[in-house]
Structure 1
Amino acid sequence: MTPEELKATIAGVITALNDSDGLGIEIPENLVVERPKNRDHGDWASNVALQTAKKAGMNPRDLATRIAERLGADAGIDAVEVAGPGFLNIRLAAGAAGRLAADIVAAGESYGTGESLAGHTINMEFVSANPTGPLHLGHTRWAALGDAIARVLAASGADVTSEYYINDAGSQMDTFANSVLARMHGRDVPEGGYPGEYIADIARTLLEQSPELAEADEDAIREDVRARAYEIQMADIRGTLADFGVHFDMWFSEKTLHDSGALERAVDRLREQGHVFDEGGAIWLRTTTFGDDKDRVLIRQDGAPTYFAADAAYYLDKKDRGFTEKIYLLGADHHGYIGRLKAIAAAAGDDPEFNIEVLIGQLINVNGAKLSKRAGNIIELRDLIDWLGADALRYSLARTPADSPLTIDPEVLRSASNDNPVYYVQYAHARSCSVQRNAAAAGITADAFDPALLDHETESTLLAALADYPRVVAQAAELREPHRIARYLEKLAGLFHKWYDSCRVTPRADEEITPVHSSRLVLDLATAQVLRNGLGLLGVSAPERM
């Protein structure tokens, strides 16, 4: 019996009490069913009597007693006890608890998904590195966490679009083009240019493609070089993210905002809202009205738009595309952006507490990581993937809250030991697959499954953890905290290993195959499915052999 099924059973009992005794109890929308802190108190606990007694005009403990009497008569429930002022401690019948294993196997990849965020239309922007160089350590954390958050939101029913904002407008693109041109003609990059070897690589590629560029006038070819160098660098960024298992639904060009007149239209729209003013020859947005520390310039005195104007136009573009909620994932040096982005939302007539959310990730450090030979002064994401592996890197980044600084120990991540969290979880999945192969070789199938036979202490504990998985996913989505799934998987892996040591799926040589073995096989299949589902939400593979 899943928590949702138990909630439905409790709701049915309350409805029956209303019909038979005329109690008039309102079934709460947030009917609570949760694990008791002390498992000796039962499988599940509910405070439904405390939630509803006052409106029903009853003493909570008396109401809990009446609910317990009817609830205990359900075939799936072994016992119900009333504790304290009116808590219900519920112990499931062995068969009802064990049936969950078969339900999980039947649900497959959909187990753990839900509708808690159904109706939410979310745009989530993350990474958004300048297209002037390779992705580096500073982008790594949000690449892993952003993708995991998007997966978790979708698993909870939200309509999510993951988006990469390409900063392809502004002076950095001129600097980028001038750096490539300098390398094409054998010069050092100009002061303030990009010195990495990757610039020389781009220059060589362009000369191989078009040798005539070597003799062409630089001013005449600057626009062409900028566009082609940009495409080469973006291909590198896309390829690196693909190797990291990170997918974007939308690649949005900042340049399109400038070329389409979106910045000018944004200023006009915000002016219509009454929040734009002119002063000193510049055009301003009065963001202090909405809690920002100072008003922000949209258009400078010389008529040039600011980055803030592009931010405003981009926000309005997202709004026009139908995204009710916009999530921005920004780096540790972007705390100042929170107030100004929320001010844009408010100036646009939105609710800054609902329509926009800004998440700030703290810095990470990788012990022993070397600066990239290609990029010169950074640690490249591609090098980290080659060194540590995408799975180990993604899992280690996902298992720590984003707002906590993180130091990664490569020696641990490269080790095949229980000290390595990703290895520990992946090994549990591989071990469960090995159990399935051995069971098949022994002729054991799931056909004789009897949920009541899953009555060993380690089986009850393992089933309870499996039942908790949907709640963990929903909570991770609600709080934007995929680390909850990683920590859950580590706990589940530990419970699985204890069960594996205590309960055999395949009989010993002198034993007959019984329904117990068949039932345990189903429990093994269910555990493997949950491990696989959880790892998938983190963008980590679930190997069948290790």
Structure 2
Amino acid sequence: MTPADLAETLRAIVCDLVADDELDVEAPTMVPVERPRIAGHGDYTTAIALRLARPARRPPREIAEAVAARLRLDQAVSGVDVAAGGFLNIRLASDARGEIARMIVRAGDGYVRDTAARDTAARGVTPGRPWPDGDNDHAGRRDGDDHAGGVRAVTGSTADPTDLADTGLADLADLVSTVGTDAARYSLARLPPGSAGARDIDLIDLDVITRQANGNPVFRVQYAHTRICLLLRNAGQLGLGVDVEGADVSLLTHPREGDLLRALGDLPRAVAAAAELWAPYRVARYLEELADTYHRFHGVCEVLPRGNDAAGALTGARLLLADATRIVLAGGLHLLGVSAPTRM
């Protein structure tokens, strides 16, 4: 079950409560679902009861209890707690939580591209072009060699990158020749819009982005991708592969596995926010969080058997999870125009 699936389930429950005259409000078109800020408060949380309390003229806890009672009947949900104030903290069943990995691998390398196309079409944004169609100011920059416009188009910044400063970099072409295309594109894409008059290229720490270390964001994301590719190659040498339909995702119960599954589920939200707010940096920052989450998973969850040990069902489930992460990392990098190397 993805966050979008859970949101739709909650919306349907509220609509049923309205239809059954248990709730006197206008049926919502959407229900907010977030990841809880405090560990141990479930997989997801929603404040839908608080939003409905005023129009329903009922205490939010009463509404939350009514929603929780119906949500507990869903086999994809293992538990629902009504917290103070009417928040609902929701725990997914292990098999339902793990299905997102299967869905991603089943969709293949086009998963991120298709997600971006679906989530941005309604906002008038074309994937690969981080500005709304019909924006004539930016549309005029799509063709030609307007490097200054290109930087603004990538970052959303209003700064003028042609103003020289004391960084040693004259323009975007100089940045590319100094650090390479991947580092330049990624570093510009991850800058939040609005730089208080500074040039975008002046906000990039050349010492950081030319270093092959975890402090370098583009290296960290690309390294996570190559690390998974190496894992899958090693699995192939052992005669193991990713079994999309046969993997038992209910075995993915380790906290680090749960963290990674939830991070994978955040992709549609990150892409939608980037499109709606014209903020490519949200995709970059999402990829960094996903890469960090994978590195933590890799550090404590052994995927491949050691020595002469036989591969068990958990190996298959973790291979599926790793491959799903690879697909999202590669797709996210390509969305930003950055390569996803298989070796470093």
User: Which range, TM-score by smaller chain?
Assistant: 0.7 to 0.9
The residue type equivalent to 2:140 in the other structure is Y
- Residues 49-448 of structure 1 mapped to structure 2, 5 A cutoff: 49-108=49-108, 109-111=110-112, 112-113=115-116, 115-121=118-124, 149-150=130-131, 163-164=139-140, 237=145, 360-361=158-159, 363=161, 369=168, 379-404=170-195, 405=198, 406-447=202-243, 448=246
Report the CA distance shift for 1:31/1:114 in structure 2 as closer, same or farther (over 3 A): farther
Q: Would the aligned equivalents of 2:225 and 2:330 in 1 still touch at CA under 8 Å?
A: yes
Match of 1:289 in 2: none
**Aligned equivalent of 2:287, options 480, 485, 489:** 489
Structure 1 residues 415-473: Cα deviation after superposition (integer angstroms, max 9, x where no partner):
21112111111000011111111111112223331111111111001111111111011
Q: SS of the residue aligned with 1:360?
A: coil
Report the CA distance shift for 1:413/1:31 in structure 2 as closer, same or farther (over 3 A): same
Shift of 1:57: 4.0
The residue type equivalent to 1:110 in the other structure is Y
Number of aligned residue pairs: give it: 330
Shift of 1:329: 5.1
The residue type equivalent to 2:215 in the other structure is D
Q: SS of the residue aligned with 1:26?
A: coil
Match of 2:10 in 1: 10
**Aligned equivalent of 1:517, options 304, 315, 337:** 315
1:474 and 2:265 are equivalent in the alignment: no
Structure 1 residues 178-204: Cα deviation after superposition (integer angstroms, max 9, x where no partner):
xxxxxxxxxxxxxxxxxxxxxxxxxxx
Report the CA distance shift for 1:490/1:45 in structure 2 as closer, same or farther (over 3 A): same
Match of 2:47 in 1: 47
Structure 1 residues 180-238: Cα deviation after superposition (integer angstroms, max 9, x where no partner):
xxxxxxxxxxxxxxxxxxxxxxxxxxxxxxxxxxxxxxxxxxxxxxxxxxxxxx6xx49
Q: SS of the residue aligned with 1:89?
A: strand
Q: Would the aligned equivalents of 1:42 and 1:91 in 2 still touch at CA under 8 Å?
A: yes
Q: SS of the residue aligned with 1:40?
A: coil
- How far apart are the structure 1 equivalents of 2:264 and 2:12? 24
Structure 1 portions without partners, runs of 5+: 124-145, 168-233, 247-327, 332-357, 371-378
Shift of 1:387: 2.2
- How far apart are the structure 1 equivalents of 2:266 and 2:125? 26
Q: Would the aligned equivalents of 1:64 and 1:82 in 2 still touch at CA under 8 Å?
A: yes
Report the CA distance shift for 1:485/1:26 in structure 2 as closer, same or farther (over 3 A): same
Structure 1 residues 273-293: Cα deviation after superposition (integer angstroms, max 9, x where no partner):
xxxxxxxxxxxxxxxxxxxxx
- How far apart are the structure 2 equivalents of 1:40 and 1:98? 18
Report the CA distance shift for 1:365/1:539 in structure 2 as closer, same or farther (over 3 A): farther
Write 1 or 2 for the structure with the bigger share of strand: 1
Shift of 1:159: 8.2
1:532 and 2:330 are equivalent in the alignment: yes
RMSD: 3.1
Q: Would the aligned equivalents of 2:71 and 2:77 in 1 still touch at CA under 8 Å?
A: yes
- How far apart are the structure 2 equivalents of 1:468 and 1:391? 24
* More RCO (CA 8 Å, sep 6+): 2
- How far apart are the structure 2 equivalents of 1:8 and 1:436? 34
The residue type equivalent to 1:458 in the other structure is R
Q: Would the aligned equivalents of 1:148 and 1:539 in 2 still touch at CA under 8 Å?
A: no
- How far apart are the structure 2 equivalents of 1:400 and 1:482? 8
Per the normalisation by structure 1, the TM-score is 0.55
- How far apart are the structure 1 equivalents of 2:266 and 2:297? 17
Q: SS of the residue aligned with 2:85?
A: coil
Shift of 1:25: 4.2
- How far apart are the structure 2 equivalents of 1:408 and 1:15? 49
**Aligned equivalent of 1:465, options 256, 263, 266:** 263
Report the CA distance shift for 1:23/1:114 in structure 2 as closer, same or farther (over 3 A): farther
- How far apart are the structure 1 equivalents of 2:125 and 2:241? 43
Q: SS of the residue aligned with 2:88?
A: strand
Q: SS of the residue aligned with 2:203?
A: strand
- How far apart are the structure 2 equivalents of 1:7 and 1:80? 14
Report the CA distance shift for 1:420/1:46 in structure 2 as closer, same or farther (over 3 A): same
Identity of aligned residues (%): 39
Shift of 1:85: 2.0
Report the CA distance shift for 1:386/1:89 in structure 2 as closer, same or farther (over 3 A): same
Report the CA distance shift for 1:450/1:382 in structure 2 as closer, same or farther (over 3 A): same
Structure 2 portions without partners, runs of 5+: none
Shift of 1:54: 3.4
